[in-house]
A and B are shown apart, each in its own frame.
With several copies, the nearest count.
Chain A
Amino acid sequence: MTRVVVDVVMKPEILDPQGQAILGALGRLGIEGVNSVRQGKHFELDVDDNLDDETLTRLADTLLANPVIEDFTIRR
């Protein structure tokens, strides 16, 4: 069994209200030195060793991410 991680983030040109809200809260927490925050999704999959890259990509592309507004990266 292999652990695969897929991270999904909004495309850079798309509005990311999440990140803005977090940045605003940092000030109230008294934390300085953080200049930007983007929030995305993080998936941890346990897959059979022989699951091929193509299938993984299809999985990410159709189910985990919405390619219209999001990009994803896959790490084995």
Chain B
Amino acid sequence: MAIRVGVVTFPGSLDDRDALRAIRIAGAEPVPLWHGEKWLSDVAAVVLPGGFSYGDYLRAGAIARFSPAMESIIDGARQGMPVLGICNGFQVLCEAHLLPGALIRNDHRKFVCRDQRLRIENADTLWTSGYQQGQEIVIPLKNGEGGYVADENTLNELESEGRVVARYLQDNPNGSYRDIAGISNAEGNVVGLMPHPEHAVEDLTGPAGHGTDGLPFFTSILQKLVGI
């Protein structure tokens, strides 16, 4: 039986279909979840997709955090359920305090869309075990509020505990502190990532020459879940 991985659609989610596709290509069963439902349909893991949620006029993710689906996801995550938040999903995870810090407006104040080079800094999380430690990948980045910020203590803690999952290489695209592109919680089951691995799962539509660099995010989790 295929592993069921859910993707939550909030009002305003944009990359939900892409995340579902990535899960399918990785070999799992994609399960659409609705923000207004507490019931998570027996999924083994959840992806919070990119886009917007409830307009994000206040702060990205600020309102989504209070949705019925998120209540269950917050409970699940605390009990070890794997959760990946991409872009807006990362913002939701920070607002929900499942991850430390926050994401603010890009330092150049513009939306940016580009093929971004990253280094996987921690290949031990549930979502990154399919990569080599230190592996360099290129996946699309597209955000207006992608600047990762946190106080010095938090940043030091993240680094010393190996919880910086991915870092921007070459140009820092949004002013993120210490070039942080993604982080995990202490247990490693919750990961937030600003760039979009779900847009790099097919040679046809992914970044030229790096079309499938994002796929291991979705296969890693399957290996772990099957392995358990």
Which chain A positions have C-beta within 8 A of B95?
Answer: 66
Q: Tell me which of A13, A15, A18, A41 contacts B151 (CB under 8 A).
A: A13
**With A and B bound together, what is the CA distance between A18 and B106 in angstroms?**
9
Q: Are B67 and A15 interface neighbours, CB within 8 A?
A: no
Q: Tell me which of A10, A13, A17 contacts B106 (CB under 8 A).
A: A17
Majority secondary structure, B binding face: loop
Which chain B positions have C-beta within 8 A of A17?
Answer: 55, 57, 104-109, 147, 175
**With A and B bound together, what is the CA distance between A6 and B48 in angstroms?**
30
> Does B94 interact with chain A (Cβ within 8 Å)?
yes
Min CB distance A39 to B, Å, is 6
Q: Using CB atoms, name the residue of chain A closest to B101.
A: A68
Q: Tell me which of B55, B67, B151 contacts A28 (CB under 8 A).
A: B67
**With A and B bound together, what is the CA distance between A25 and B151 in angstroms?**
28
> Does A33 interact with chain B (Cβ within 8 Å)?
no
**With A and B bound together, what is the CA distance between A21 and B57 in angstroms?**
7
Q: Are B62 and A18 interface neighbours, CB within 8 A?
A: no
Q: Are B108 and A18 interface neighbours, CB within 8 A?
A: no
Q: Are A18 and B54 interface neighbours, CB within 8 A?
A: no
Q: Using CB atoms, name the residue of chain A closest to B105.
A: A17
> Does B150 interact with chain A (Cβ within 8 Å)?
yes
> Does A63 interact with chain B (Cβ within 8 Å)?
yes
Q: Tell me which of B58, B100, B104, B109 contacts A63 (CB under 8 A).
A: B58
> Does A34 interact with chain B (Cβ within 8 Å)?
no
Which B156-170 residues have C-beta < 8 A from chain A? none
Q: Tell me which of B57, B59, B66, B105 contacts A66 (CB under 8 A).
A: B59
Q: How many A-B residue pairs have CB under 8 A?
A: 63
Which chain B positions have C-beta within 8 A of A29?
Answer: 66
Contact with B along A41-53 (1 / 0, CB 8 A): 1000000000000
Q: Tell me which of B58, B94, B150 contacts A39 (CB under 8 A).
A: B58
Q: Tell me whether A69 and B104 are in contact in the complex, defined as CB-CB below 8 angstroms, given that A15-B149, A18-B57, A22-B58 are known contacts.
A: yes
Which chain B positions have C-beta within 8 A of A39?
Answer: 57-58
**With A and B bound together, what is the CA distance between A41 and B101 in angstroms?**
19
Q: Using CB atoms, name the residue of chain A closest to B100.
A: A68
**With A and B bound together, what is the CA distance between A13 and B105 in angstroms?**
15
Which chain A positions have C-beta within 8 A of B81?
Answer: none
**With A and B bound together, what is the CA distance between A10 and B108 in angstroms?**
17
Q: Tell me which of A14, A21, A41 contacts B149 (CB under 8 A).
A: A14
Q: Are A18 and B102 interface neighbours, CB within 8 A?
A: no
Q: Tell me which of A21, A64, A69 contacts B109 (CB under 8 A).
A: A21
Listed from nearest, the 6 A-B pairs whose CB atoms lie closest are: A18-B57, A25-B63, A21-B55, A69-B102, A17-B107, A28-B66
Apart from A15-B104, A18-B55, A21-B63: 5 A-B pairs, beta carbons within 8 A: A15-B175, A17-B108, A21-B57, A24-B54, A25-B58
7 contacts between A and B (CB under 8 A): A13-B151, A17-B104, A17-B107, A17-B109, A39-B57, A66-B95, A69-B104
